[in-house]
Structure formats: structure tokens, C-alpha cells
Amino acid sequence: MPSVNGTRNGKNEEDFAGKKLRTLPTELLQRGQDVDKVDLQRNRLKHVAGISQLSNLTELNLSRNEITDFPSEIKDLHQLVRLYLSQNNLKTIPEDVFPFLEKLQFLKLSTNRIGKLPEDIIKCQNLSYLNLSNNCLTDLEPLVGLPHIKELYAERNQLAELPYSLFQTKSLTQFKVNGNPLKKPPEEVCAGGLKDIQNYFSMLESNSPSVHSVKTMFLGTSMAGKSTLCRSLKQACPVSVAEDDRTVGIEISEVESDGVRFYFWDFAGQEEYYNTHHVFITAEAFVILTIDLSSYQTENPQSFDEKVGFWIRNIHLKIPGSVVLLVGTHVDQCTDENEVKEKKKEIEENVEKMLQTHKSHLDQQRRNLQNKDNPSLYSDQINQIKRLTEYKLKVLDLVAIDCTKPQDICRLHDHIKHTVLNKDTFPNIEQTLPKCYHEVEADIQELLRNGDISEHGIVTQDDLLRELKNRHDTLNHDKLKLILQYLHRIGVIMWYKEIPALKNSLFVKPSFLITLFKTIVRHDLDKELAAISPAMLKLENALQKYKERWIRDYKDRATLSNMAIRILMRTELLNLGITDQELLKEVVGSKTTEGHVLSLLKHFDVCLTSKPSCPLNPHANEFVPKKTWKPSNSIVYEPDACLFPSNLPDNTQVEKMWGQDSTEDINIHVYFLPEIPHGFFHRFVIRICSWYSAYWMGKDQCLICCGSKRFLLREHCDEDHFIEIRCKDSDIKTSAEIQKAWEAIRLIMDRLDNLTMQWQGLCQIVHSPCRDPGCSDYFEWNDWKEWLDESGTNEFSVGLEEKYVCRNGHQRRTELLFPRAPDVADT
């Protein structure tokens, strides 16, 4: 970043950002009252002694320093309008500072360790922006009464309750509070935003009940005994599940036991279904990881990895704040008690080792960054890693049982109940909800039972409101929306309002939707295709011989014809006795319209509309983010198949189209810590390819074309896990083209970053490798997030230098390593 000191618009601004300062420079202090604004971010300041001399300061930026005690001299800066103190180590803010900052409008205190707000912050009458995210706050009460507060951010703190009065402030327009252990309102309500919170409080009665509910997910390999456990716990006695009765997709059931409501989600164990799990796996869950002890082999790392390690790693990446109970089944098939004991001990020890290794990797990574010459440059990454270490995945000791024995089922039942009611293990299962939430939930179930909502449970919002109106006279659209959103978030109903075609459709019986998913996403799809009856083929005017091609295309090219998809779904629906033609059309789709199920599978990045691979079209219009892309040719291709990339066998086609890598290609490496989650790369490329008209996809590589430029996305999972983004050197010649290539890379990285956010336990590091042949050095790209945030602007903030030199002395033009810096003349 350049240091721009001087006068701008008549203001005296001083820029001392990123200068490794430990104390305030004398040259700054000497300017005293002449200074209006000072930027001191990204230094190593622990104190700011002397700052009160700048008594006319209106803006002070002290972010990303090492300040531990709130600088008391700040209270002498009476003209202060904007104050930045984020990313320091502040623990407390003393009383008697804010009453002196009457003009303060903007205060950023995010990413510190503040546990309590001063009572007199209320005296900051003009405060309109306050960022308190990433602290340790337990109470926002001191903020009640701030008359002009507009934007308030309190994400990732320790808040259990929000003060009702805070939401009566009319000025508040933005409020974010994700990542808190909230009971009142529950996190599921807060996720809906300010309006939902306000509505919640308006419905809350003084005697609103507290409920205990837990989403319990049964995970583990196929045949481990998940369904047996799930069904046995539900019936409170052993239920035998036939060997060929494989769970397909996910089965859901609700069980109430001693005041705790369990929502049991039984996930199918086969690999094929894993690709849809992300849709349903939600945070703050209780996971029962089921392990067949009889087939578990001690001292066999592969056996541990398959049955336990794989699942723990993925839970850690996706929902690192969860509680996992290990349940070992099939003890009756083990030789003796000793075998069970030995296996239990080994599994518990290995899991503990995994957790320790995970933690020490992160600690090491953080230390490496902190020991760099200028750690403030890495503060974003350091904070990301800190955040990951703060998640505590709790893995509880293994309970070994024989699922066929009633006393074992009873013992497990008691153990689960005991675990869930333990406040140390589950601090947040208690939630306070307005009565009507439960009433509406119960009424929906009753409407289903009475047949007032069809058996499949698909109902429009208007119809549902009409039915419920008879029972609740005060219910209106807004209130119902709020309740439905909550029920969706806890998994009782499904409502994908973000998909335009499904905005008004509710799936009040999620298992029906899952049944439809599993007609397509299943391990034995080839058998299902082969079994399609002649009558069903006729309905779509399909020939018998098509089946063979569908099977071959699915196996070799991972594509499934839309016609086949429609027939499979129609068959399933008819088997379920659903003959309503309108509904069939809506759900299954037609030649011209996409059905609900396909929309959903695409929405969740399970598959992608497939387009024929055609040669590069040099006349194709450039794709520009946020603008509608127009084909250069008026003949628009109608897609007629879906691609399921997780089934792709190899990279042959991509390699053929891409050719050889060149050291001159623009090349970015996005590293993932601790690793790239299973299925991540395919979801990522699905998201990218849905934007571009021409692409080729392979097992772990994907080529996309943006106008005449080719980009390669490649997954590496050998040692360090990373995704490589390359732009072919021969396709970019001029500086303008290079800049366009960076614009496309920005879009790709933005999508990558968005997807990464779905895995709470994941963080990224970005490098540009040195372009000299054989050189292993790289350039670290620290402010790539800032670059992504600048969407819509053309200014790139990475360095002004024209050339970068790597440690081995190789020199490169900046714009080929990082986005082009603005010309000096532009600044």
C-alpha cells in the first residue's frame, strides 16, 4: 500500500499504514492539531501514547495492531467521527470514554476479546455504525437506547439472549448476530435477519414456553447399523432391519422423550448419497457416528479411516461445533469382551490423535504466520485460524452395543438422553419460542394426517395460510413466513424460497422430497434405468433402445438424459400412488420446463445442465460478471441432459482440450486448511460452469472458456490440498486482456470463497507460484479477500511495483502474478 500523506479536499490526512511502527512517530505528533485523519492500521502498536495531541482528529484508524488496553487518551479526541480499533487484543473498554466522544458516528471494534460493553456507551448519541463481531460479549443491553444506531454487527460472540428493547429502535436497519449460542431468539430465527427478530419479539408472550429439541444425525458407513439404531431408539426396543433394506437418501423421524424432542435424520452410508448430505447436514447438531465393531480391524489404518476417520474429518470441516457420540454396533458378532474393549480403546485413541493433530497443525500454522516479519499483514489469516481453533468438536466415548438386545437399546437410549441434557455438552438446546410456533407445527402435521394437505405434502403458502387461518385468526402472511422459515431451518419442513420457481411451494413432508432425490441420486441407478417399463417409455415417446445409451452415457460420461430423469421420477411417483397430472408436471418437469426436483438438485450443486462440448468459438461474447451474457449465434442450444461430475471417470477430454501447461500461464494456488472436503471440487466446478457457455469437465480438472480465454481448474490432494486456477498464456497478449483475465479469476475466486463459507471449519491461503521454470518459490497473496470485496471497482490494490522478485531472484511483471496495479497516473 502506498503512503499518501498530504491534503485532500482541504483535509490533512496522514497515512502511516503498514510501517511496522511500535510507537507513534514524532513527525505525526508534531503536526498536532493540523491533522484531520490518520491511518495507522497494520502496525505493531501496543500503545498510542501522545495521540491526544492530535486533538482535531475526525478519523483514527488503529486496526490490526497489538493494542491490549483501550487507549484512554482517545477520550480527548472530541472531534472524532470515525474510530477503527478492529483486530487488536482489547479485552475491556473502560467507562468514562464515550461520554466525551459526542460526535462519534462510526465505531469498529470487531475481532478483539471484549467481554463487556461500558454502560456509558449510550452517551454516544450520534453513533450510527457499530461493529462488535468476533468478541466475547454476553450482553447487548448497554446498547438499548442509542437513538441513531443504524447498523449493528455482533456476529460470533457469546450472546444467549438479545434485549427486546433493542429492536424497538426505529433507526436500526442492519443487524447481524450469526454464530452466537442464542436461545432467545433462537439462532434459526436470527438467521432470518432484523425483520424476523422484530416479528419474533412481537409474537413472544411473557409465558412463551422453552423447548428442548435436538437434530440428531446418524452417520457412518453403509451397513454399520444406522437405520437399526434409529428405528430401535424410536420404538424403544430392537427393530430388525433386513440386510437388503438399504437406506436410500435420508430418512427422517421425530421422537419425543422426557421433554426432549429428537429429530432423527438417518443418512444413507453409501458414497453416492454423500453428495447430497450437505443439503441436510446443519450446524449445532448431535451426530451419532455408527461403527460396525465386528468388521472393524485393529491396527489397520484403512479400516479406521473408512469407518471413523473419514466421517470425523468431514464433520470437523462442515460442522466443527458439533457433538459426536461414537456408537459401536454388532458386539454380539465379536469374539469376546476383550475384542470389543480393544477396538473401543483403539478407536477412541485414534480419534483423540486426529483431534490433537488437527489442533497442532492449526497452532503451527498460526505460529508460522505470527513469526513473519510483519504479522499484521497476515492478521486476516491469523484470525481465520484462531476462529478454527476456537471450535471444539466434542467426540464422546464409544458406547458398544448389540442392537438385537433390548437392554442395550435401553442403555443407549438413557445414555443419549443423559448426554443431551448435560448443559456442559449441549448448552444451547433450550429455546424460547412464541406458542404459535408449536401450534402451527402441530397443525401442519394434523392437516397432513387428516388429508387436508395431500399425502405428498407439497402445498402453496396461500393454501396453507387458508387452512391455518381457521385455527389462528391472528395469523397473516408475514407471521406464517417467519414460522415457516424457522421450521425450515430446524428441518421440519423444506422451503427453498431462494429458488424463484419454488418460492411459493412448501414441502411440509421432507421425506417425500428426499424420496424424489433418491430416484436419481442412487448407487444402483443403472439397474433402475434398465428396469424402466415399456409403458413408461411410451409416455415420453422414448424407444426401448434409448435405455442402453442412457446407461452407457451415465457410466462413461456421468450424464443422464432429462428424458430418463423424467421417466424415473414419474415411475416413482406413480408407485407412490400419485396421479395428479398437474403435480406430476410441476415436480417432474417437461420437455420445456424444469421440474422442482431438477431445480433443487441444481441449486444444491449436485448436477449441472449439460451442454454439448463444442469447439472454441473465437467470436463468442466475453462474459462480464453482473451483465447478461448474449450468445454470438442466435441458435440457442436447448440442454437435454444433466451432468453428475462426481461420477466422471477421468480427465481425458479436459487434458485434450487444454494441452500442455506453460510456465507463462497466469497461475493461482488456493490452499485449503486442513484439507479440501470430499465432494467440494465438484460442487465448485458446477457453480463455475453454470456461468460459462463452454466447458469440459473431468474427474478433478475442469476447463472453462471465457470468450477466447481458457481457464483450467485443477484439484490437488496429494500433500497440501489446493485448487489451481490457470489462464492459458497463449490466450492473453495485451495488458487489457490480462486485466480481463483477472476479472474472470475474481469471479472464480469469489465463488470459491462463497462455497468455502459453507464449511465452517475451513480456511484458505492464496499463492502465486514463481513463473520461472524449476523455481519452487511463490508469492503470498495476503489481501485477496480485500480484492474480492472491491467488486464492481476496477482498482486493484496489490502493490504499485512493476516487478516482483522471488527469493531465488527471479523477476516477474506484477500483473502476471497479481491483478494489475493501477497506473501511477491513475492514483
Ligand X SMILES: Nc1nc2c(ncn2[C@@H]2O[C@H](COP(=O)(O)OP(=O)(O)OP(=O)(O)O)[C@@H](O)[C@H]2O)c(=O)[nH]1
Where do contacts with ligand X occur on this chain (CB under 6 A)? Answer: 220, 222-228, 240-243, 245-247, 268-270, 290, 329-330, 332-333, 402-404
Backbone angles phi, psi at 280, to 5 degrees: -110, -15
Task: Write down the least CB distance from residue 406 to ligand X, Å.
Answer: 12
Task: Write down the least CB distance from residue 224 to ligand X, Å.
Answer: 4
Q: Toward ligand X, which CB reaches closer, 495 or 517? A: 517
Residue 139: CA count within 13 A, CB half-sphere: 7
Cα dihedral 396, 398, 401, 407 sign: negative
DSSP H or E run through 751: helix 735-756
Q: Write out the three cell numbers for 154.
A: 455482533
- Other C-beta atoms lying within 10 Å of the C-beta of residue 807: 11
- The Cα–Cα gap between 596 and 602 comes to 10
Q: Toward ligand X, which CB reaches closer, 229 or 741? A: 229
The candidate with the shortest Cα–Cα distance to 113, out of 97, 131, 137, is 137
Q: Toward ligand X, which CB reaches closer, 344 or 714? A: 344
Q: Toward ligand X, which CB reaches closer, 172 or 287? A: 287
* Residues contacting residue 710 through CB under 8 Å, at least 6 positions apart: 616, 657, 658, 703, 704, 727, 728, 731
Task: Write down the least CB distance from residue 679 to ligand X, Å.
Answer: 17
Q: Write out the three cell numbers for 719.
A: 500433500
Task: Write down the least CB distance from residue 280 to ligand X, Å.
Answer: 14
Task: Write down the least CB distance from residue 295 to ligand X, Å.
Answer: 10
Q: Toward ligand X, which CB reaches closer, 404 or 653? A: 404
- The Cα–Cα gap between 488 and 499 comes to 14
Pairing of strands 286-292, 151-153: unpaired
Task: Write down the least CB distance from residue 219 to ligand X, Å.
Answer: 9
Q: Toward ligand X, which CB reaches closer, 115 or 309? A: 309
Q: Toward ligand X, which CB reaches closer, 341 or 549? A: 341
Q: Toward ligand X, which CB reaches closer, 252 or 421? A: 252
Task: Write down the least CB distance from residue 273 to ligand X, Å.
Answer: 8
Q: Toward ligand X, which CB reaches closer, 7 or 407? A: 407
Strand ranges, E, within 30-163: 37-39, 59-61, 82-84, 106-108, 129-131, 151-153
Place of cell 513463473: 771
What's the burial of 218, exposed, middle or buried (CB within 10 Å: 0-12/13-18/19+)? Answer: buried
Strand partners, 324: 287, 395
The candidate with the shortest Cα–Cα distance to 728, out of 709, 747, 746, is 709
DSSP H or E run through 426: none
Q: Toward ligand X, which CB reaches closer, 182 or 223? A: 223
CB 190 within 8 A of CB 201: no
Task: Write down the least CB distance from residue 514 to ligand X, Å.
Answer: 13
Place of cell 499463492: 767
Task: Write down the least CB distance from residue 523 to ligand X, Å.
Answer: 9
Q: Toward ligand X, which CB reaches closer, 330 or 728? A: 330
Strand partners, 82: 59, 106
DSSP 494: B
Place of cell 449445532: 284
Q: Toward ligand X, which CB reaches closer, 232 or 760? A: 232
Q: Write out the three cell numbers for 727.
A: 489462464
CB 670 within 8 A of CB 749: yes
DSSP H or E run through 69: none
The candidate with the shortest Cα–Cα distance to 725, out of 777, 759, 775, 764, is 764
Task: Write down the least CB distance from residue 416 to ligand X, Å.
Answer: 16
Burial 688-698, CB ≥16 within 10 A → b, else e: bbebbbbbbbb
- Other C-beta atoms lying within 10 Å of the C-beta of residue 10: 6
Q: Toward ligand X, which CB reaches closer, 290 or 646? A: 290
DSSP 71: -
Task: Write down the least CB distance from residue 247 to ligand X, Å.
Answer: 3
Q: Toward ligand X, which CB reaches closer, 48 or 331? A: 331
Task: Write down the least CB distance from residue 238 to ligand X, Å.
Answer: 9
The candidate with the shortest Cα–Cα distance to 766, out of 781, 754, 751, is 781
Task: Write down the least CB distance from residue 311 to ligand X, Å.
Answer: 12
Q: Write out the three cell numbers for 325.
A: 457420540
Q: Toward ligand X, which CB reaches closer, 270 or 708? A: 270
Task: Write down the least CB distance from residue 402 to ligand X, Å.
Answer: 5
Place of cell 497463449: 730
Task: Write down the least CB distance from residue 237 to ligand X, Å.
Answer: 14
Q: Toward ligand X, which CB reaches closer, 148 or 415? A: 415
Rg (the chain; Cα; Å): 29
Peptide bond into 406 cis (omega under 30): no
* Residues contacting residue 131 through CB under 8 Å, at least 6 positions apart: 86, 107, 108, 109, 110, 151, 153
- The Cα–Cα gap between 575 and 380 comes to 54
- The Cα–Cα gap between 157 and 44 comes to 25
Task: Write down the least CB distance from residue 607 to ligand X, Å.
Answer: 22
